[in-house]
Amino acid sequence: MAELVRLARQDDVAVITIDNPPVNALSPGVPEGIEAALKQAVADTRVRAIVLIGAGSTFIAGADIREFGKIVSGERPRLTLLPFLLTIEDSPKPVVMAIHGQAFGGGLEVAMAGHYRVLAPKAQVGQPEVKLGIIPGAGGTQRLPRLAGVPKALEMCAAGDPVKAQDAVALGIADKIVEGDFLAGAIAFARAVAGKPPSKTRERDEKLPGVPAAVFAAAREQARKQARGLRAPLAAIDAVEAATKLDFFAGCEEEARLFNQCLFSTEARAMIHVFFGERAVAKIPGISKEVKPFEIRRAAVIGAGTMGGGIAMNYANAGIPVIVKETKQEALDRGLGIIRGNYAKTVAKGKLSQAAMDQRMALLTPRLTYDGFEQADIVVEAAFENMALKKRIFAELDKVAKPGAILATNTSTLDIDEIASATSRPTMVVGTHFFSPANVMKLLEVVRGKATSPAVIAIAMALGKRLGKVAVLAGNCHGFIGNRMVAPYFREAQFLLEEGASVEAVNQSLYEFGMAMGPLAVDDLAGLDIGWAIRKERATHLKPGVRVPLVVDKLCEQGRFGQKTGRGWSKYDENRRASSDPEVAALIERVSRAAGIERREISNQEIVDRCVYALVNEGARVLEDGIALRAVDIDITYIYGYGFAAWRGGPMFYADTVGLPKVLARIEEFEKKHGKDLWAPAPLLKQLVAEGKTFKDFDKRKEAPG
């Protein structure tokens, strides 16, 4: 087994190198290796100081997250890194932590147990544990406030965002930034502090006293707002507060208690599922890492509307020159104006410099013709959702785009193969489905047509990462993964209205369940006219005699398109704040009575079950049809594209936590009440229940070779 930790000596400085690729996680054997090397260095009389550094691209990315499942299942003992960290802190010779890449979680905790920290210019430090549904568990909530002060430690532990090198030095977390040859600089620094009595972070209490209670109250308020439904940020605040009330060791005990409370929670399991899921979706069976995608250097976008404009911003944000084409000057001006406005808002918030905004705007080239398209490596069509229009555009692109260019469509529902049939290069046609607002939403659904080549898939997936998106591969069917599943979700939300639930009850129930917004609020945000156009396009596909929602088309006929018209399912004031609309409630009652639908009291639980299990049942069919590769692909799609709470893990993971037998029983109940056409359980769901398996087992089976 490769050596996880190496010890070397450069004259009077010992260098301990952690070499546990890919991110030097504190996997079993790493803390032990560091401790052994440290003891050796301390015992070596030639050594006056010690440097700890990571091999490869980073310092330490934290504890080994893969081990957490084994701790929760009892296979491994609970995390006890404290004694190991005390060994470092109590070293009689100064230990200098040389941090390049990331010192995250346990990585920063190791660093803070050292006596000095030097950083490479691009290094980052942070306690991202809350993003895994846990809190720092190795003294981070006790040592960080001693270095950075309580308010900053609260922010870093409760939000989990990293801090850049310059800020880390300014905050007192680190001592110096080393330019140039990093190891040589760290050794020189160690040599300079050798002989000085090492200062122990745990004894530096000067920044702890005098923090008003209001600081903690404000942090809790913010955590409740920003991380709704998540326990971990509040636990992190409790732990940092404990540092101001208890001595170091008692504080560590309180931290450990809170840490284990979080670790053994469903939230943490869900968030860890999402962490690895986000990485798993990038792996496409059959497309080996050998397929080397060519790099996209130039792009072009058809359409400067809401989607086209947002898509173009993604390319400019990634430093890729992009042409934006419209049919009329007025539409082009409006589109570019919205882009400029979006950037200006970000600059005003201090999240982007004016120089960066100017740079990005300079990468955008507005056009009314196809001039310049022959240089584009990828062309993205973001025109109106109409098949005839898209085919006309693709036929034109086939003529103007260079031979090796990728032709991508942002369609959210239409048949990729039919669009590709308008070209002579269907192997180069792919769906790149962005989500509105395209410059904000993290999900990119990459849709594979039957002719799309593996290289084009690999390029589109890699491009997703480059544009700061999480790319998920979907097969070609109506609505792909996300929109295919959301149709029954919206259907049930509307049926529940007809059966007696109010718009507010439906929205609030799903909001409390953890969705970013209720289904009818999402409909009003996206615009009811979008769905109306799709329903008209799909009318011929409807199965006769199957129940369909009765109210939404009537709202559209009245021009109620949602926020954009100030009224939809709800009414909206000039600040787009929603309020209930008695006219809609009356319309719903009238329509359902006319249809002879029985109206009754409906519980929040039934609202949640009908909507979420409609997702799960269709999700199982999406897996059966191979439209999604794995259940986790569906979870990632829903978390990054549809506002499904990450702490629920996504619809398929959630179903596993409820227990598939219980989910199936509830679906069969709905089938009995509402009929087979709407609620026949997916065969895969029945099969997994029969085998006593879960969707997670389904994915494992998928991963298993052969």
Q: Which residues form the catalytic set?
A: 109, 129
**Residue from 31, 33, 54, 140 binding ligand T1G (CB under 6 A):** 140
- If the CB atoms of residues 132 and 493 are measured against ligand T1G, the closer one turns out to be 132
Neighbours of 16 (CB within 10 A): 23
Enumerate residues 6+ apart whose C-beta is below 8 A from 89.
Answer: 113, 114, 115, 200, 201, 202
Shortest Cβ 24–ligand T1G spacing (Å): 9
- Does 66 bind ligand T1G (CB under 6 A)? Our answer is yes
Site stretch for ligand T1G (CB under 6 A), options 105-113, 315-323, 433-441, 543-551: 105-113
- Does 63 bind ligand T1G (CB under 6 A)? Our answer is yes
User: What is the spatial order of strands in the sheet that 95-99 belongs to?
Assistant: 5-10, 13-18, 49-54, 95-99, 116-119, 176-177
Shortest Cβ 132–ligand T1G spacing (Å): 6
Closest CA to 313 of 258, 268, 352, 261: 352
- Does 279 bind ligand T1G (CB under 6 A)? Our answer is yes
Strand (E) or helix (H) holding 119 = strand 116-119
Whether 95 and 52 have beta carbons less than 8 Å apart is answered as yes
Shortest Cβ 124–ligand T1G spacing (Å): 8
Q: Whole-angstrom Cα distance, residue 684 to residue 694?
A: 10
Site stretch for ligand T1G (CB under 6 A), options 99-107, 367-375, 454-462, 487-495: 99-107
Output the 3-class SS for 578-591. EECCHHHHHHHHHH
- If the CB atoms of residues 23 and 510 are measured against ligand T1G, the closer one turns out to be 23
**Residue from 91, 102, 617, 637 binding ligand T1G (CB under 6 A):** 102
Neighbours of 83 (CB within 10 A): 9
- If the CB atoms of residues 50 and 271 are measured against ligand T1G, the closer one turns out to be 271
**Residue from 4, 5, 18, 23 binding ligand T1G (CB under 6 A):** 23
- Does 54 bind ligand T1G (CB under 6 A)? Our answer is no
Closest CA to 653 of 91, 171, 276: 276
Closest CA to 520 of 611, 641, 429: 611
**Residue from 54, 106, 464, 649 binding ligand T1G (CB under 6 A):** 106
Q: Whole-angstrom Cα distance, residue 147 to residue 269?
A: 31
- If the CB atoms of residues 23 and 223 are measured against ligand T1G, the closer one turns out to be 23
- Does 267 bind ligand T1G (CB under 6 A)? Our answer is no
- If the CB atoms of residues 81 and 188 are measured against ligand T1G, the closer one turns out to be 81
Which residue's entry shows tokens 């301990």?
A: 16
Using DSSP's 3-state secondary structure scheme, residue 562 falls into strand
Task: Tell me the pairing of strands 13-18 and 5-10.
Answer: antiparallel
- If the CB atoms of residues 109 and 381 are measured against ligand T1G, the closer one turns out to be 109
Site stretch for ligand T1G (CB under 6 A), options 64-72, 319-327, 346-354, 475-483: 64-72
Shortest Cβ 129–ligand T1G spacing (Å): 5
Site stretch for ligand T1G (CB under 6 A), options 62-70, 112-120, 215-223, 264-272: 62-70
**Residue from 104, 189, 373, 642 binding ligand T1G (CB under 6 A):** 104
Considering only residues 432-471, where is the footprint of ligand T1G by CB under 6 A?
none
- Does 132 bind ligand T1G (CB under 6 A)? Our answer is yes
The single-letter DSSP state of residue 120 is -
- Does 694 bind ligand T1G (CB under 6 A)? Our answer is no
Q: What angle do CA 473, 664, 643 make, to 5 degrees?
A: 40
Site stretch for ligand T1G (CB under 6 A), options 45-53, 101-109, 284-292, 449-457: 101-109
**Residue from 25, 118, 256, 632 binding ligand T1G (CB under 6 A):** 25
- If the CB atoms of residues 80 and 353 are measured against ligand T1G, the closer one turns out to be 80
- If the CB atoms of residues 212 and 705 are measured against ligand T1G, the closer one turns out to be 705
Neighbours of 383 (CB within 10 A): 20
- If the CB atoms of residues 25 and 320 are measured against ligand T1G, the closer one turns out to be 25
Considering only residues 346-375, where is the footprint of ligand T1G by CB under 6 A?
none
Q: Is the peptide bond before 683 cis (omega within 30 degrees of 0)?
A: no
What is the DSSP track for 630-641?
Answer: SHHHHHHHHHHH
- Does 22 bind ligand T1G (CB under 6 A)? Our answer is yes
Closest CA to 28 of 73, 53, 63, 74: 63
Site stretch for ligand T1G (CB under 6 A), options 84-92, 127-135, 230-238, 304-312: 127-135
- Does 636 bind ligand T1G (CB under 6 A)? Our answer is no
- If the CB atoms of residues 267 and 381 are measured against ligand T1G, the closer one turns out to be 267
Torsion-angle region of 223 (φ positive above 0: left; ψ -120 to 50: alpha; else: beta): alpha
- If the CB atoms of residues 75 and 574 are measured against ligand T1G, the closer one turns out to be 75
Site stretch for ligand T1G (CB under 6 A), options 102-110, 532-540, 649-657, 685-693: 102-110
Cross-strand bridge partners of residue 128: none
- Does 64 bind ligand T1G (CB under 6 A)? Our answer is yes
User: What is the spatial order of strands in the sheet that 102-104 belongs to?
Assistant: 102-104, 124-126, 163-164
Shortest Cβ 261–ligand T1G spacing (Å): 13
- Does 700 bind ligand T1G (CB under 6 A)? Our answer is no
- Does 138 bind ligand T1G (CB under 6 A)? Our answer is yes
Q: By CB under 6 A, how many residues form the interface with ligand T1G?
A: 27
Shortest Cβ 27–ligand T1G spacing (Å): 7
Hey, what are 638's tokens?
């829903």
**Residue from 61, 262, 271, 364 binding ligand T1G (CB under 6 A):** 61
Shortest Cβ 130–ligand T1G spacing (Å): 9
**Residue from 65, 173, 379, 627 binding ligand T1G (CB under 6 A):** 65
Neighbours of 71 (CB within 10 A): 16
Q: Whole-angstrom Cα distance, residue 97 to residue 174?
A: 9
Using DSSP's 3-state secondary structure scheme, residue 569 falls into coil
Site stretch for ligand T1G (CB under 6 A), options 135-143, 265-273, 451-459, 681-689: 135-143
**In angstroms, how far is CA 276 from the centroid of its own chain?**
11
Enumerate residues 6+ apart whose C-beta is below 8 A from 171.
Answer: 147, 148, 149, 152, 163
x-or-dash string of contact with ligand T1G, 234-263, rule CB under 6 A: ------------------------------
- Does 233 bind ligand T1G (CB under 6 A)? Our answer is no
- Does 62 bind ligand T1G (CB under 6 A)? Our answer is yes
C-alpha distances in angstroms, 368 versus 329, 372, 391, 547? 7, 11, 19, 45
**Residue from 109, 445, 498, 699 binding ligand T1G (CB under 6 A):** 109
What is the DSSP track for 378-447?
Answer: EEEE---S-HHHHHHHHHHHHHHS-TT-EEEE--SSS-HHHHHTTSS-GGGEEEEEE-SSTTT--EEEEE
Terminal-to-terminal C-alpha distance of the chain = 27
- Does 277 bind ligand T1G (CB under 6 A)? Our answer is no
**Residue from 33, 94, 105, 649 binding ligand T1G (CB under 6 A):** 105
Whether 8 and 15 have beta carbons less than 8 Å apart is answered as yes
Footprint on this chain of ligand T1G (rule: CB under 6 A) = 22-23, 25, 58, 61-66, 79, 81, 102, 104-106, 109, 128-129, 132, 134, 136-138, 140, 276, 279
